[in-house]
Amino acid sequence: MLQVTLGVAGMHCAACQGRVQKALAALPGVGDASVNLVTGQAAVSYDPAVVSPAQLAAAVRALGYEASLPDPRVTAIEEQARQDAERAAESRALARRAAFAAAASLLAMLLSMPLMAALAGDHHAAASDPLMRAAMRWLDPPLRAAFPWAYRLPAAALGGALIALTLATMAWAGGRFYARAWAGARRRSADMSTLIAVGTGAAFAFSVAATLAPGFFLRHGVAPEVYYEAVTMIVALVLLGNALEARAKRRTSAALRALAELQPPRARVERDGAEVELEVGQVRPGDTVLVRPGERIAVDGIVLVGASAVDEALVTGESVPVAKGAGDAVIGGTVNGNGALTLRATTLGAESVLARIVELMRSAQSTRAPIQGLADRVSAVFVPVVIGIAALTFLAWLALAGEGALVRGLAAAVSVLIIACPCAMGLAVPTAVMVATGKGAQLGLLIKGGEALQRAGSVDTIVLDKTGTLTAGAPRVTGIVARDGDDDALLRRTASLERASEHPLAAAIAAAARERGLPLDPVEEFAAVPGRGASGRVDGHLVAAGSAAFMASLGVDAGPLAADAERLESEGRSVIFVAVDGVAAGLVAAADPPRPDARAVVARLRGLGLAPLMVTGDAPRAAHAVARQVGLAETEVLAGVLPQGKVEQVRRLQQAGRVVAMAGDGINDAPALAQADVGIAVGAGAGVALEASDLTLMRRDLSGVPDAVELSRRTMRTMKQNLFWAFVYNVVGIPVAAGALYPAFGILLSPVLAGAAMAVSSVSVVTNSLRLARWQPAARTLQRTTTSAS
């Protein structure tokens, strides 16, 4: 299965989202389809042998929506900038249309009272609704005094002006609603625009009839009420709600927008001995890039000359500037400190670290959390059910209300259509996911989607790798035991072999050889066995390095080294056995101290109700020594476990009913990360670990693990609040709009108030999600409070 993300334009409520998702999922060859209302994207897994991306886009267009395929020439940063510009333009356009409709509604209100008075003779009795009669009784004297000319105009002039004004408002300001409703009718589907179009259309048609034939209404005992001001006000309120919603939705992607804006537009490059300023897109891999103090680094690169401290906070969440010198990697978009740097450009464009982070976040925000399924099921039938309720409301008023039944029934039916809001249900989950993934990015957490975000909150067991996770991942060689007494020769051969490995211990051995100035030989026939060791041919000799079990698998007798190995392991050191040409040649011991925050993180995880378990391939003595330092009991340690054993341990916990998270950083952790309910790659570890994980910690500290759990739980709480209020709003609002309170209290909700309530419901859901942007993990809040107090 391959995956493609389509851009989908024209969706505006949960019914639209559900329709697109259902159509894509029904196509042959589609494994899964996830449509996000907020981002306007559809993530589709498909079999390229059965269906193509072009056919997926065609299926969306067949529903009447616009669909676009990703352009491989456009980076995620460029696409995000384009999308942000479009959303800003849409928000401004909606605000302009809402302002026009609001002004029109005020004018319509001014003209409607004189018109109703002219049509019915007695303007106080013209309204059959008690609330409307009371409003007219209060407003009529000041309006008559302020605008006497309006009351002197003939009914034909007033009616013509109101019809023209209302039509102009419906056509220009609210034209999108009627166009969408017509397109939906042609497709035999209905959505929020259908409700607005039918409701305002019915009110307008009734008003035109009352204006053109008032005598007909009077002869049948019905007041010729007009609802021009209600139609224009409803359009204004819905547009205002849409504008506020669009603005709030832009804020949900604020963190993603901030990341995309980190990319500087230009870079200073050394070409042919001269310094030139180029567009970032013109920089090529291998170019020499110059960075002045205080500048933002334009591209990913390796430092060639210079030293500085680089602020990586906005990219990795690392609050303390990181020291960089020759040979160190730097990330494009980070801020250089006081030193000048000369870089060699490495990954560029779509392959840059910043572009990959933006793409990962965009992909994550396009996915659905499982809890969204409930809203999708309701939305699929919501609009038809509401139309049916509105029709029954109108018929019930006609049958039971007596005098004024037609007018009141119409008002109640229109109110039902207008107050019903599938938007709130469609926005409840995706807005929370967007804000949460953006907040995670600010904290140095890259979350791969709504499903991973939801699962993280349910975790009750956390499996922790030792090397690079609980420890700093920067071990140093602290001892060498060579059977022939030549420590340098043993180290040289071992380092020549291990420099091809990604394991932190391998990097420590290679670094020790460099510190001693030992030349390294090329390695041939290199082979790594995850969790055990590596072998290869160095300078004509077959060299193997790894665990005692690895030596045994190669038929090497490691007995002569057992005593030294036991002594070193009891001191908490990791021991690498080395064999040359099938004979045990010696040991290399390395110490990897625990991360400074490891003990506090383990305590936080316990406080969150998680059971910690350290699983490592290291020898038991070394593993238990580290466990004691980080606050783990002996029963919470499993040592000497191979990568497949880690997978089995995770599976065993899952079979016992546990929801398991696995945190690791190495290639040997990838299988267990994939098996776990939530895989967490620590410290932007090995590439395979990143691919297998659900969450990635970009910072070097371990506190992101409990931060992720806390963020997930807070996000789930917000999602549930949003869904609860979205459902309660509709469950309570629709009966009130239908007139459920009228028999007991004489209260009948006007269509204008229904429109206002509908607008408020959508905005309130988005606003509640935005509260997540201000959330801080408990540990950081405590740290900030302590700092302020001191």
Residues 134/746, Cβ–Cβ less than 8 Å: no
Residue 423's contacts (CB-CB under 8 Å, 6 or more residues apart) are: 12, 13, 14, 192, 245, 758, 761, 762
Cα(300)–Cα(590) distance, integer angstroms: 31
Cα(104)–Cα(114) distance, integer angstroms: 16
Of the candidates 116, 120, 161, the one whose C-alpha atom is nearest the C-alpha of residue 136 is 116
DSSP code per residue over 222-236:
------HHHHHHHHH
Sign of CA dihedral 289, 293, 299, 305: positive
Of the candidates 415, 389, 390, 421, the one whose C-alpha atom is nearest the C-alpha of residue 13 is 421
**129 phi and psi angles, rounded to 5 deg:** -80, 125
Residues 709/427, Cβ–Cβ less than 8 Å: no
DSSP code per residue over 619-652:
-HHHHHHHHHHHT--GGGEE-S--HHHHHHHHHH
Q: Which residues of 650-669 are buried (b: 16+ CB within 10 A; e: fewer)?
A: beebeeeebbbbbbbbbbbb
Residues 330/310, Cβ–Cβ less than 8 Å: yes
Tokens linked to 419 = 């107050």
Sign of CA dihedral 650, 651, 657, 659: positive
Q: Is 533 helix (H, G, I), strand (E, B) or coil?
A: strand
Cα(90)–Cα(565) distance, integer angstroms: 68
Residues 301/344, Cβ–Cβ less than 8 Å: yes
Tokens linked to 304 = 């060639």
C-alpha radius of gyration, the chain, whole number: 34
The one catalytic residue in 287, 376, 465, 665 is 465
Residues 162/226, Cβ–Cβ less than 8 Å: yes
Cα(535)–Cα(548) distance, integer angstroms: 14
Q: Which residues of 557-584 are buried (b: 16+ CB within 10 A; e: fewer)?
A: ebeebeebbeebbeebbbbbbbbbeeeb
**67 phi and psi angles, rounded to 5 deg:** -135, 140
Tokens linked to 549 = 């079990």
Cα(708)–Cα(702) distance, integer angstroms: 11
Residue 465 appears among annotated catalytic residues: yes
Tokens linked to 115 = 């018109």
What percent of the chain is helix, strand and coil (3-state, nearest 5)?
Answer: 55, 15, 25
Cα(356)–Cα(77) distance, integer angstroms: 9
Cα(651)–Cα(643) distance, integer angstroms: 13
- What are the residue ranges of helices labelled H in 62-174? 76-120, 130-146, 148-152, 155-168
Residue 664's contacts (CB-CB under 8 Å, 6 or more residues apart) are: 464, 465, 468, 469, 670, 672, 673, 679, 680, 681, 682, 685, 689
Cα(621)–Cα(401) distance, integer angstroms: 86
C-alpha distance from residue 750 to each of 109, 140, 166 (Å): 14, 19, 18
Cα(735)–Cα(732) distance, integer angstroms: 6
Just list the catalytic residues. 465
